[in-house]
Amino acid sequence: MSKIRYFQVREQWRLTDFLFNPMVIMMVLPLLLIMILPKMMNDPDTKEDFKQISNMAKMSEFPEMSEMFTSLFSKGSAKVNAKPKQVKKRQ
């Protein structure tokens, strides 16, 4: 006859369980980015890369998303009524 186990074995606490917890990752990752990114910007190669990326973004000249959706969902007219409708107050 075997011994009956009434209780479950308690799970051990591990540092990796704490570090890979989503809440800890959400707090630590932005902190690391805030500390590391300014130091990366001192590198001349990184500065050149960011300048190239910003120049490419300026040259592409994509239309604004808000303008695209406005023209898409408006019924052919791009103008919006300047005068709002007056609402009658009930007494």
**pLDDT 10s digit of each residue in the chain, 91 long?**
788 888 898 999 999 999 999 999 999 999 999 988 888 778 888 888 888 888 876 666 666 788 888 888 887 655 555 555 676 777 6
pLDDT of residue 79: 54
How many structural domains does the chain have? Answer: 1
In a domain, 34, yes or no: yes
> What is the domain extent for residue 19?
13-53
In a domain, 19, yes or no: yes
Report yes or no: 78 and 71 within 8 Å, Cβ to Cβ.
Answer: yes
In a domain, 71, yes or no: no
pLDDT of residue 12: 93
In a domain, 23, yes or no: yes
In a domain, 89, yes or no: no
pLDDT of residue 52: 86
pTM: 0.39
pLDDT of residue 20: 94
pLDDT of residue 76: 61
In a domain, 41, yes or no: yes
Q: What is the DSSP string of 14-52?
A: -HHHHHT-HHHHHHHHHHHHHHHHHHHTTSHHHHHHHHH
